[in-house]
Homo-oligomer: A and B are copies of this chain.
Amino acid sequence: MNSFTGFSAPRADRYFEDYQAGAVYEFPETALVSEEDIIRFAKEFDSQYFHIDPVAAAHSVYKGLIASGGHTVALAFRLYIRNFLPEKASLGSPGMDEVRWLKPVRPADALRIRATIIETRPSQSKNDRGSVRTFVETINQQHEVVMIFTITNIMARHP
């Protein structure tokens, strides 16, 4: 198993060919989650009381304010896109599977990701691109995996 902290090519020069099944990336970049960020995101998208009201949240099953699951997905996307995906060669994603929120994300958590490439496949119908399927773990500062998902990305092949 090949383990890396980054790619040799910068995002702008990365293509489908730079992604190899079995490679594991642990990027040092973290996403810091503040109470203010949690409440702001939740007021716009997920106004459940345990995401917006610290006092009421203290009496919930979570015993304190936690980030919306949508917020944790968005933060993982930020780390995944900035560190893993190619720039020009990224052609979008058809979907993701098995999203699991395993542990609450709380104010002052620092999240990072580990990305394991499961499979790469040249397109059958379009010979200028391929798809890359990746298992993404989101990990907090206590080394606990707080969320997992598997995502597929379409990428242009090297011209």
Contact = CB atoms under 8 A, between A and B. Distances in A.
Contacts of A99: 95-97, 99
A65 to B, nearest CB: 13
A100 interface: yes
Interface string A102-114: 0000000000000
Contacts of A61: 91-92
A94 B98 contact: no
A136 interface: no
Contact of A78 (B46, B49, B94, B98): B46
Interface in A58-85: 61-62, 68-71, 73-75, 77-78, 81-82, 85
A113 to B, nearest CB: 13
Stoichiometry (number of copies)? 2
A56 to B, nearest CB: 10
Contact of A98 (B45, B87, B97, B101): B97
Contact of A75 (B45, B49, B92): B45
Given A45-B77, A69-B93, A97-B98, 12 more contacts: A44-B74, A47-B82, A48-B87, A48-B90, A49-B87, A49-B88, A69-B92, A71-B74, A93-B101, A94-B100, A95-B100, A99-B99
Interface of A: 41, 44-50, 61-62, 68-71, 73-75, 77-78, 81-82, 85, 87-88, 90-101
